[in-house]
Amino acid sequence: MRPYFEIVNGVKIPRVGFGVYKIKQDQNFDKTIIEAIQAGYRHFDTARIYGNEEALGNVIRNSGIAREEFFLTSKVWTTDLGYEETLRAFEKSCRKLNTSYLDMYLIHFAGPRFIESWKAIEKLYTEGKIKVIGTANFEIEHFEQLKKQTKIMPMINQIETHPGFQQQKLREYMSQHQILHEAWGPLGQGNKSLLENETLQKIANRHQKTVGQIILRWHLHRDTIVIPKSSNPRRIKENIDVFVFSLSEEEMGQIAALDSGKRYAVNPKGFQINPIYVGLTKLFLK
């Protein structure tokens, strides 16, 4: 298995990335990112709302590794949706990340005015400022709206996906429209019942791997990009060490049977601007 996917436009994206959601911008953040770089990660996923773009950019700049070797993703937050607003948000993210372009830029949620935002992202893409354009937490209905009102379909969709919530219907739609599947929360956000699942533990024991490694390998077999996150040096290394073994068809079937259709996080269909999100914006988007 190659360590990267090829996007519909020919751009290569590493199959395993490193998520930085909820990793605070402090000395431990720097140490964590350095650990990840040393472990071999070159694909890093952040967002304006995470409040750590600048810290990530600083570590990468000081890594001694050329910017071109990294694949950097950020996202436009819901309160920045709109044509001009998205253009400004993109420039702010680039400044904080210390880069003149982004490898990938996503709309974080399909909030109000996401169509206008997508048109701004299309403009940035045609200008060569973004290599891959996509979405996060989009459902079929959102893609159908984009099909009718914009020129370019998203190349990737980053969505909650794990063995307990496998997104099969949305996956089929995305496959039909050449939209790559990227999983956030690929390990179920540390859900205890998932990580202690008897079926997964038996498969892990058989391969002498951790349950986390089995889940990540399951994602890769499904042609899904993953962005696990951890501040634990051992787990950081384990999460990228998933290319040296394979799961059998029987094991893949056993994991497929674990799908409960239950989300562990917010449902995008009910996502709106509310006091919680406004509060987060005031806290992080300074």
DSSP category for residue 190: G
Tell me what pLDDT residue 270 has. 67
Parallel/antiparallel/unpaired status of strands 4-6 and 12-14: antiparallel
Helix (H, G, I), strand (E, B) or coil at 158: strand
Domains of the chain by residue range: 4-284
**CATH code linked to domain 4-284:** 3.20.20.100
Q: How far apart, in whole angstroms, are the C-alpha atoms of residue 167 and residue 133?
A: 21
The answer to the question of whether 43 is labelled as a binding residue is no
* Cα atoms in the 13 Å half-sphere on the side-chain side of 255: 28
Q: Which of 4, 41, 50, 83 is catalytic?
A: 50
Q: How far apart, in whole angstroms, are the C-alpha atoms of residue 156 and residue 135?
A: 6
Q: Which residue has the tokens 């909030």?
A: 111
DSSP category for residue 165: B
Catalytic residue status for 21: no
Phi, psi of 234 (to 5 degrees): -65, -45
* pLDDT tens-digit series, residues 217-230: 999 999 999 999 99
Q: Give the CA angle between residues 69, 87, 144 to the nearest 5°.
A: 90
Angle separating helix axes 83-97 and 53-61, nearest 10 degrees = 40
Q: How far apart, in whole angstroms, are the C-alpha atoms of residue 178 and residue 156?
A: 8
Cβ neighbours around 34 below 10 Å, total: 13
pLDDT digit of tens for each residue in the chain (286 aa)? 889 999 999 999 999 999 999 887 777 999 999 999 999 999 999 999 999 999 999 999 999 999 999 999 999 999 999 999 999 999 999 999 999 999 999 999 999 999 999 999 999 999 999 999 999 999 999 999 999 999 999 999 999 999 999 999 999 999 999 999 999 999 999 899 999 999 999 999 999 999 999 999 999 999 999 999 999 999 999 999 999 999 999 999 999 999 999 998 888 876 655 545 545 554 444 4
* pLDDT tens-digit series, residues 10-32: 999 999 999 999 887 777 999 99
* Bridge partner residues of 158 (DSSP): 136, 182
Cβ neighbours around 4 below 10 Å, total: 16
